[in-house]
Amino acid sequence: MRSLSEIETAVKRASRAVGFSWGNSEEVGKSIRLLELFGFQGVKNLNQYYAVKQKKKFEDLNLISEKNEPSLEAYCPIILGISFLDQIKSIENFETIRFEKIAYPVIFLSFLSRASEISGKKIYAKFDKNEILLNLNVNICSSFFNQKFPKLVDKVEIKFLTNQDNFTEIEWNSLYKLAENTFVEESDSLKQGAAGAGLTDND
Amino acid sequence: MNVELRDPNTIMKLSRLGSFHQSKLSFLRSFLSEFKDWDYKRDLFNLDQNGYGEAVYSFKKKDRVYSLVCFANEIKDEERSDRVIATKWDAAFTLHDGVPSKDDIKRLKNEVPKQEVGRLSIKELTLSRANKSVRVFNHVVECLSEGKQPDLDLLSKVGYLYRTTAVYGSGKFGLADRFRIKNREEINGPFRLEMMLVYLVRQFTFDQVNHVAHYKNPKKAVKLDKQICKNLGIGNSTGLGMAPFIVNHPTLLNNWILSREIALKKIREIKIVENEDSELFKDCVKKSLKNITSWNTDSEYQQNKIKLLLKDVENFIDYIENNFNFKTEYPFNVIYMWLEQNVCEECIEYIVSIMMEPYNNITEPLVSNMSSDEDKYFNIPTNRTVQELLDIIEARYPNILEINFDQKENNQNFWFISKNKEEPRLADRFEEHGSELEQPLAIARDIKKLYEKLLLEKNNLTIAKFLSLNSELRHVVRRAFIIEKFPYSEIQDNTIGKSIVPIDMLRLKLSFFGALKFDPRSDKWLRICMFQGAPLPNELKNYDEQWVYKTSN
């Protein structure tokens, strides 16, 4: 079994060898390491992408807007991913970000996961019909488990999810009521002595 | 009194870093301190009469066991080489996580002797190999088998029976990644498992030499005297492989140096020094002279450094004995100021290391701050502006900005990875081919390039926009934001200049390991000795913490 450290180093060097700058190659190394850690086929997809990249010119998207359409070929998932990370502060307020045609989208997915951690928000992504939830770079929930990732997605939709509770106020109150059963009702003497400050805390 | 931390622009110069010495913060000493109450055991010793076979040594505490698995092999004299290009060694080792099963040993027997071309598993933590100092090993076997102890002069000249030629960890060749074990309390310090491996290898070398001598002459043979064993360490040959490590781990480098600087600051701020502390300090300085006078090297460069060091340490002893009173307030601050005025860089750092000896209360809490999770600081704050980045560079790299990289001598060398052994190398860019494949280790040059590019941009431009047009500078943009928070994270020197002495970079790292007796064999590789004078494993429960200064070699 290859260690994640070996994977990161080899990916960084391979990325440099295919023409990315050292700084960008470092980013790819971290991202592929992450995919492998989460159980996605990072090395396999990157290998295939670099093989195709030698014959085909993918498009670089350096400035992300709400709607992004490549003029001819699909977007390079690496430059797109790095741009997404770099521009996170300016794009996190968009309601939905749409991309058309991204090559080897699983590679882009790793950058989205890191973006979720940087922004402190969960990210919802839809790759054609498949839904993915990126949870602050702690895990990735997707319906892709045990499935091959496509080599190309036509439509991608990204939403930064507002941090909000996953439950109703009624559900919370019900749970809190149970928690209160671990508390002691304070008598006057407990109020007087148990906190050490007496009945008033004015100075 | 508040003493300022020393200026990174002075301390992080290569000549200063190349003058560092071991101290209480060094990893081999903090390893001994951490594992002193663990149970040590030799679990297996299955060597033939020539000393070839397998052995297992372990440290155990509660449910945790670390086992060194050793394989000693017969090799021909002509196959023995310290170069990283070697393919056979006298012995090969791995540190196994837990108790190895018979199947594990069988698997490891097939893989460990192959080293870089073998495959380890996540059950293994570190990997190493070592060669005999044939001259010393054979002499010791000969003497012991005849019932005599070996010639101490010869032992003193070499200092070890074996020397390692590489020690690997952290995910190399299939070993466990650091993240899998990083939360274990006992390894909350850098290179602790590498230190454990080397320490147990040292014991294996003593057991092996006794074993071979016994079988050579069972009736007459004696064991190597324990005091002689203690005065032997493990040698190590180290080349350029270590140099990129300190460039590629900026926050780790910062934490090592910062811990040393904080220790010095706190010691200088002690107003009244207790008598027993000043006596311990003076005793260590005086006894350490033996370490300098027994420091053998053929390197003229190092011989000159040693001569100067010896002269300056003798001067210093004269000063504290005749012209200094420890009853004065803030005595270590006065001493430090005197050192700055009167002795060479090597001596300053030598005495700074010894100043820590009386102060466990200062050094011990710092040891746990000497690791780092580089990933935490990897992301670039791209919402910051060009002006902010310019401010950081001007504040943190003032001397680097003065270097003119258009001059040939400042751009003379390049770092590359050799295809043959995947090891870092340094070569003249104007005489050798391959500079187009240069590694990103010319930080000073690239920081200067970044600075010049930034000057052409609008001050309020975001780093995100700057990077979208200048991706070739991304690696140094990242570093500049790291140094903003970690002032000792960067070597403040030119690592590709004509006058670079690469062993300064190795020496820095080795001093933090706790190495002694740096013996440069060229400007690119050196030999050192580790654990010379250290307690033996069965003495760990109660040992003299100042053992470093009490060797008789």
Cβ-based contacts of B469 with chain A (< 8 Å): 62
The partner residue sitting opposite A22, judged by closest CB among B440, B468, B469, is B440
The pLDDT, as a whole number, for residue A198 is 64
Identity of residue B256? W
Q: What sign for the dihedral angle of Cα B181, B182, B183, B186?
A: positive
The partner residue sitting opposite A23, judged by closest CB among B173, B179, B471, is B471
Instruction: Quickly list H helices, B240-385.
Output: 243-248, 250-268, 275-293, 300-322, 331-342, 345-355, 360-367
Q: Which candidate in A5, A12, A36, A60 is best for mutational testing of the B interface (most B CBs within 10 A)?
A: A5
Asked if B382 and A86 come within 8 Å (Cβ–Cβ), the reply is: yes
User: Is residue A23 within 8 angstroms of chain B, CB to CB?
Assistant: yes
Asked if B464 and A118 come within 8 Å (Cβ–Cβ), the reply is: no
The pLDDT, as a whole number, for residue B553 is 58
Cβ-based contacts of B464 with chain A (< 8 Å): 86-87, 89-90
Cβ-based contacts of A114 with chain B (< 8 Å): 379
Condensed to tens digits (0 to 9), the pLDDT of residues B245-270 reads 999 999 999 999 999 999 999 999 99
CB B423 within 8 A of CB B240: yes
Q: What sign for the dihedral angle of Cα B41, B46, B51, B53?
A: negative
CB A106 within 8 A of CB A36: no
The pLDDT, as a whole number, for residue B36 is 95
The partner residue sitting opposite B474, judged by closest CB among A24, A30, A89, is A24
User: Is residue A192 within 8 angstroms of chain B, CB to CB?
Assistant: no
The pLDDT, as a whole number, for residue A135 is 93
Residue B275 clears pLDDT 70, i.e. is over it: yes
* Chain A / chain B CB contacts < 8 angstroms: 75
Condensed to tens digits (0 to 9), the pLDDT of residues B466-511 reads 999 999 999 999 999 999 999 999 999 999 999 998 889 999 999 9
Residue B317 clears pLDDT 70, i.e. is over it: yes
Beta strand pairing call for B233-238 and B526-530: antiparallel
Compute the nearest-CA separation of B468 from chain A (Å). 6
User: Is residue A85 within 8 angstroms of chain B, CB to CB?
Assistant: yes
CA closest to A2 among chain B residues: B174
Q: Which uninterrupted H or E stretch holds B105?
A: helix B102-111
The pLDDT, as a whole number, for residue A199 is 61
User: Is residue B460 within 8 angstroms of chain A, CB to CB?
Assistant: no
Residue A202 clears pLDDT 80, i.e. is over it: no
CA pair distance B251, B256, nearest whole angstrom: 9
Q: Is B383 exposed, middle or buried (0-12, 13-18, 19+ CB in 10 A)?
A: middle
CB B291 within 8 A of CB B551: yes
Compute the nearest-CA separation of A130 from chain B (Å). 28
Cβ-based contacts of A30 with chain B (< 8 Å): 375, 378
CA pair distance B484, B482, nearest whole angstrom: 5
Identity of residue B332? F
CA closest to B172 among chain A residues: A6
Phi, psi (deg, nearest 5) at residue B65: -130, 135
Helix%, strand%, coil% for chain A, nearest 5 = 45, 15, 40
The pLDDT, as a whole number, for residue B79 is 86
DSSP state string for B85-104: T----SEEEEEEESPPPHHH
Out of B5-19, B259-273, B287-301, least confident range: B287-301
Rounded mean pLDDT, B22-29:
96
Asked if B474 and A27 come within 8 Å (Cβ–Cβ), the reply is: yes
Compute the nearest-CA separation of A172 from chain B (Å). 34
The pLDDT, as a whole number, for residue B438 is 95
Rounded mean pLDDT, A114-130:
94
How big is the CA angle at A91 (ends A90 and A97), to the nearest 5 degrees?
A: 165
Asked if A23 and B473 come within 8 Å (Cβ–Cβ), the reply is: yes
Q: Which candidate in B382, B469, B473 is best for mutational testing of the A interface (most A CBs within 10 A)?
A: B382
Cβ-based contacts of A21 with chain B (< 8 Å): 471-475
The pLDDT, as a whole number, for residue B54 is 97
From B131, B129, B110, B128, select the one nearest B119 (Cα to Cα): B110
Asked if B475 and A5 come within 8 Å (Cβ–Cβ), the reply is: no
pLDDT-derived band at A76, boundaries 50, 70, 90: very high
pLDDT-derived band at A146, boundaries 50, 70, 90: low
Rounded mean pLDDT, B354-376:
95
Condensed to tens digits (0 to 9), the pLDDT of residues B163-220 reads 998 899 988 999 999 889 988 999 988 899 999 999 999 999 999 999 999 999 999 9
CA pair distance B267, B203, nearest whole angstrom: 35
The pLDDT, as a whole number, for residue B273 is 97
**What value does the mean pLDDT of chain A take?**
92
Residue with tokens 């020397």: B163
CA pair distance B111, B123, nearest whole angstrom: 13
R_g of chain A, CA atoms, integer Å: 24
Asked if B472 and A21 come within 8 Å (Cβ–Cβ), the reply is: yes
CA pair distance B306, B346, nearest whole angstrom: 9
- CB count, 10 Å around CB of B551? 23
User: Is residue B474 within 8 angstroms of chain A, CB to CB?
Assistant: yes
Residue B154 clears pLDDT 90, i.e. is over it: yes
Percent of chain A with pLDDT strictly greater than 70: 95
DSSP state string for A69-95: --SSSPBPHHHHHHHHHHTHHHHTTSS
Give me the interface pTM, i.e. the ipTM: 0.89
The pLDDT, as a whole number, for residue B336 is 98
The pLDDT, as a whole number, for residue B311 is 96
pTM for the complete prediction?
0.93
Helices (H) and strands (E) in chain A, counts: 8, 6
Tokens in use for A24?
Answer: 């960008």
Task: Map residue B84 onto helix, strand or coil.
Answer: coil
Asked if A88 and B382 come within 8 Å (Cβ–Cβ), the reply is: yes
B205-209: long-range contacts (C-beta < 8 A, 24 or more apart)? B205/B130, B205/B160, B205/B161, B205/B162, B205/B232, B205/B234, B206/B161, B206/B232, B206/B536, B207/B42, B207/B45, B207/B55, B208/B47, B208/B51, B208/B55, B208/B72, B208/B91, B209/B51, B209/B137, B209/B140, B209/B141, B209/B144, B209/B161
Per-residue exposure over B200-212, b if at least 16 CB sit within 10 Å of its own CB, e if not: bbbbbbbbbbbbb
From B165, B174, B170, B197, select the one nearest B85 (Cα to Cα): B165
Percent of chain A with pLDDT strictly greater than 90: 79
The partner residue sitting opposite B471, judged by closest CB among A1, A24, A114, is A24
How big is the CA angle at B76 (ends B72 and B80), to the nearest 5 degrees?
A: 75
Residues 6+ apart with CB under 8 A from A71: A59
The pLDDT, as a whole number, for residue B552 is 65
**What value does the mean pLDDT of chain B take?**
94
Asked if A86 and B440 come within 8 Å (Cβ–Cβ), the reply is: no
Compute the nearest-CA separation of A183 from chain B (Å). 34
The pLDDT, as a whole number, for residue B283 is 96
Q: Where are the beta strands (DSSP E) in B133-189?
A: 160-168
The partner residue sitting opposite A4, judged by closest CB among B171, B379, B463, is B171
Beta strand pairing call for B233-238 and B160-168: parallel
User: Is residue B422 within 8 angstroms of chain A, CB to CB?
Assistant: no
User: Is residue A5 within 8 angstroms of chain B, CB to CB?
Assistant: yes
Identity of residue A99? F
From B405, B479, B483, select the one nearest B445 (Cα to Cα): B405
Q: What sign for the dihedral angle of Cα B3, B398, B482, A94?
A: positive
More confident of the two residues B27 and B422: B27
Compute the nearest-CA separation of A52 from chain B (Å). 22
User: Is residue A179 within 8 angstroms of chain B, CB to CB?
Assistant: no
Q: Which candidate in A1, A2, A3, A83 is best for mutational testing of the B interface (most B CBs within 10 A)?
A: A3
Task: Map residue B26 onto helix, strand or coil.
Answer: coil
CB A97 within 8 A of CB A124: no
Asked if B171 and A3 come within 8 Å (Cβ–Cβ), the reply is: yes
CA pair distance B332, B266, nearest whole angstrom: 10
The pLDDT, as a whole number, for residue B78 is 84
More confident of the two residues A162 and B448: B448
